[in-house]
A and B are shown apart, each in its own frame.
Chain A
Amino acid sequence: EAGVAQSPRYKIIEKRQSVAFWCNPISGHATLYWYQQILGQGPKLLIQFQNNGVVDDSQLPKDRFSAERLKGVDSTLKIQPAKLEDSAVYLCASSLGSRGGSPQPQHFGDGTRLSIL
């Protein structure tokens, strides 16, 4: 099966500019996640969708970050305006959610490495 697709792979912008990332999950995966991974740290969940509804966005800096999954398939994550501290790898993941109450593993894309100058 095709994996999780993300683009672009790399992005360099100046602070206060805007940027958008795109993710196409594995076909049939209802759950989609966006993570921020700062160098030397584990992934931190920014937002989780179940189909096109938001399940958890408690750690999303809503004054500058936004995300949507309008048709319940692909998703975009936007940052506007960017700050130096947003330099990180942004990972998208998808999963089947839960089967019989048992959570399914997440499948990750290769991420977008964002550098803020």
Chain B
Amino acid sequence: AQSVAQPEDQVNVAEGNPLTVKCTYSVSGNPYLFWYVQYPNRGLQFLLKYITGDNLVKGSYGFEAEFNKSQTSFHLKKPSALVSDSALYFCAVRDGATGGFKTIFGAGTRPFVKA
């Protein structure tokens, strides 16, 4: 069965410093991986996805993510964090092997970016 884990509920970072939000996954076959962001009282917004190809994926708002097959990880990164990046970030995975349609979301990580 597919699963996704975000080991940190919150990460603290100073504005201007690099931001990393961690995600690991487990699937039977090839993974389809996504990152979404959620602002207060809003739905989730798509940031980026990995389907195949280059391990480094670039997305919206200056975010990127690195797919690492050997470590089954898909960490979200931003070179220089902004206070406005303080939101809730969800990693999501769908198993490409089973032919199933379900996307599983992690519990979310909240970066606290301090000015």
Which one of B36, B41, B51, B90 contacts A103 once the chains associate, using CB atoms below 8 Å?
B51
Closest A residue by C-beta to B100: A56
Which one of B46, B101, B104, B105 contacts A48 once the chains associate, using CB atoms below 8 Å?
B101
In the bound complex, CA of A113 to CA of B107 (Å): 18
Given contacts A93-B43, A103-B32, A110-B42, A42 and B108 within 8 Å (CB-CB): yes
In the bound complex, CA of A56 to CA of B45 (Å): 22
Given contacts A41-B107, A42-B90, A43-B90, A48 and B102 within 8 Å (CB-CB): yes
> Does the CB pair B105–A43 fall under 8 Å?
yes
Q: Does B72 contact A (CB under 8 A)?
A: no
Q: Does B112 contact A (CB under 8 A)?
A: no
In the bound complex, CA of A56 to CA of B41 (Å): 27
> Which B residues from 78 to 111 make CB contacts under 8 A with A?
90, 92, 94, 100-108
Interface string of A22-44 (1 = CB under 8 A from B): 00000000000000000011111
> Does the CB pair B101–A105 fall under 8 Å?
no
Q: Does B34 contact A (CB under 8 A)?
A: yes
Closest A residue by C-beta to B48: A105
> Does the CB pair A106–B46 fall under 8 Å?
yes
In the bound complex, CA of A97 to CA of B2 (Å): 19
> Which B residues from 17 to 58 make CB contacts under 8 A with A?
32, 34, 36, 41-46, 49, 51-52
Cβ–Cβ < 8 Å partners of B32 in chain A: 102-103
